[in-house]
Amino acid sequence: MTIVYIGVGSNLCGDFTSPKQNITSAINALTKIQSIQMIRVSSFYESKPIGPQDQSDYINAVIKLETSLDPTDLLDNLQTIENHHGRERSQYWGPRTLDLDILLFGDQIIHNDRLTVPHTEICNRAFVLVPLSEIEPDCIIPEKGIVSSLVSNLIQAELKIL
């Protein structure tokens, strides 16, 4: 079993009444996968969008889980959940009903055509590092450092805990 951290985000309602409900539904969907054991979920945070600013603010969280799946199989499961929630990939950094990103997969470093772990922008995004620090401040990001130290380098002014 491998410890994995998943970044979750949403700024569109889709079939639900709020992005928060999209995230809650995604968390519930993950708990139903037999090879995944949920360990902890951070608080939900509100953040400004990256990229086009003519979209709603995002709701973000980080999930800590344990899985026997390999990284590609986990990615397939995450994309199935995204698709079930109406995820469309039409605009880079555009609005989305649900975004599930593998942030860390154990201590593995993965670079292939489908997946990069640690997530490419993990150290530059308060909406990832702050919730990650909340649930695992001593977590080490391979080749980057300890999460709690990395958080102190970020400007968190536009991040609001919900």
* Active site (catalytic) residues: 87, 96, 99, 101
CA distance to 16, 36, 38, per residue, from 19 (Å):
7, 23, 21
The closest of 25, 32, 57, 62 to 44, measured between CA atoms, is 62
* 27 contact partners, CB below 8 Å, separation of at least 6: 8, 38, 41, 63
Q: What is the DSSP letter of 109?
A: -
Q: CA–CA separation, 47 vs 126, rounded Å?
A: 9
Residue 93 burial by Cβ neighbours in a 10 Å radius (0-12, 13-18, 19+): exposed
